[in-house]
Amino acid sequence: MKQCIQCHAKVKGDWDLCPLCQVSLAEQKENAEENPGPFPVIPLRFNREKVTKLLSLVSVLVILTYFVIQWFWSFQIFGLDYVLYGIMSMWMVVLIIIRKRRNITKGIVYLIIFLSVISLYFDYLNGWSAWSITYSIPIICTSALIAMFLAIQVVRLDTKDYILYLQAAALLGFIPLVFLLLGWTTHPLPSWISFLISTIMFWSVIVLHGKEILKTLRKIVDV
C-alpha cells in the first residue's frame, strides 16, 4: 500500500495523489491489480441537468421565435404573455410526467387537473366565451379516460395501484355534466360524451373491483 508522507496514512487503491492531502504518491510504484481499493469507479451522472438544459434551450428558442415573427409581421397575433404561459405549461407537464412516471394513471389524473385549470384560466383571460367548459374540459376528461384505459391494457399494473386514480378520473368526467345542467355551456354534445364514458367506466370499475376499492380506501384514510 502507498503511504502519504504528509498525513502518514496508508492509502488503499491506485491513487496518484493522496486523497486527503493531495500530496503526490506517484513515485511509489505499486501493482494496481493487487490493491484495487474498496470502491468501484462510477462515472458521473448528469440527467437532471440535461433535462433542465434542454427545457431552458427550448424556452429561449420559443421566445426568440416569437420576437422574430413579431418583427416580420406588422400586426400583433397575440401577446408575449401567451408565449410565457405556454412555456410554463411545458415545464409543468414535463415535471408531472417525470415526477409521476412510475404511476401512469396518477400522472394522467394530475394532467387532467392541470390542463383543465389552464384552459379555464385562458378562457377567463379572453373574456369568457365558455369554450373551456364547453369543449376543452369535456374533451380532456374523455380522452384522458380512454388513454388511461389503454395504458392499463398495455402496461402491467396492479389493480390496487391504479384503481383509485381510474375512479378519480371517472369522477372528474362527471363535472362537465354539472356545467351542462347549470346551463353554462354553449354546446351540449362534448359534456354528454364525457358523462357517458365516465358513467360506463365508473360503474364497470365498481362492479369489477368494488371490494378492492373499499380495502384501498380504508388503508389510505386510516387515522
In the bound state with other proteins, the residue whose beta carbon lies nearer, of 44 and 154, is 44
CB of 47 to other proteins, least distance (A): 9
Q: Which is nearer to other proteins, 21 or 90 (CB)?
A: 21
Binding-site ranges for other proteins (CB under 8 A): 1, 7-16, 19-21, 36-46, 99-100, 102-103, 106, 158, 161, 219-223
Residue 24: phi and psi, rounded to 5, are -70, 135
Helix (H, G, I), strand (E, B) or coil at 192: helix
Q: Cell 414535463 maps to which residue?
A: 94
Q: Give φ, ψ of 2 to 5 degrees.
A: -75, 150
- Minimum distance of other proteins from residue 220's CB (angstroms): 4
- What residues form DSSP beta bridges with 24? 17
Nearer Cβ to other proteins, position 106 or 205? 106
Q: How far is the CB of 110 from other proteins (least distance, A)?
A: 11
d(C-alpha 122, C-alpha 85), whole Å = 9
Comparison of 165 and 179: residue with beta carbon closer to other proteins: 165
What one-character DSSP code corresponds to residue 33?
A: T
In angstroms, give the least distance from the CB of 156 to other proteins.
12
Q: What is the 3-state secondary structure (H, E, C) of 121-142?
A: HHHHHCCCCCHHHHHHHHHHHH
**Nearer of residues 35 and 143 to other proteins, judged by Cβ:** 35
Task: Give 134 or 209: the residue with its C-beta nearer to other proteins.
Answer: 209
Q: For residues 155 and 150, give the distance between their C-alpha atoms in angstroms, rounded to a whole number.
A: 9
Spatial CA neighbour of 141 closest among 179, 178, 103, 115 = 115
Quote the least distance from Cβ 102 to other proteins, whole Å: 4
Residue 37 CB, shortest distance to other proteins, in Å, is 6
CA 82 to the chain's CA centroid: 21
